[in-house]
Amino acid sequence: MDFRGQYFFLSNFYSSPVHYEGIGYPTAEHAYQAAKSLDDRQRARIAALATAKEAKQAGKAVTLRPDWDWVKLQVMETIVRDKFTRSPALARQLLATGQLTLVEDNWWGDTYWGVCKGVGQNHLGKILMRVRDELHPDPGADADDDPWSYLYSDIHDGD
């Protein structure tokens, strides 16, 4: 699947506010690109950009933090988790994907975050599925003890 059309909400380019390390960003892409730098000025500049495409371009020009290769997966997971826990509507959409295998299928050759021509590690898809699993209600848990109950209570009211 590609993260366009009905699945565009899965894309980091989807307009949905996220917070990362005390700064608000208009998209997950903005936050991820800003996190490449430890310079607060560079982060603020990326946060202020109008589009995710501009943020991605700006991320190519930042002073890359020295630990980036070791932290980028955790950074992405933190940002994606924030995106879907901050918005109950997005959480419900993610839960509605059920047990679908989420694959960021792309044509631009990204085999780290996605899959291109059947080849790739699909790290973004794996992160999305982990977050989806975290959002699923535990059938044995008391609803009062479930921190995510507000996300899915209205989904199951009609059952």
| DSSP-based three-state secondary structure for 129 | helix
AA letter at 9:
F
For 3-42, write each residue's pLDDT tens digit. 888 999 999 999 999 999 999 999 999 999 999 999 999 9
In this prediction, residue 137 carries a pLDDT of: 74
Question: pLDDT-derived band of residue 156, with 50, 70 and 90 as boundaries?
Answer: very low
Domain count, the chain: 1
The parent domain of residue 112 ranges over: 5-156
> What CATH number is associated with residue 33?
1.10.357.40
Which pTM does this prediction carry? 0.85
Asked whether the beta carbons of 137 and 148 are under 8 A apart, the reply is yes
The pLDDT tens digits of the residues spanning 84-141 come to: 999 999 999 999 999 999 999 998 889 999 999 999 999 999 999 999 999 987 655 5
Q: What is the DSSP string of 47-88?
A: HT-S-HHHHHHHHTTS---TTHHHHHHHHHHHHHHHHHHH-H
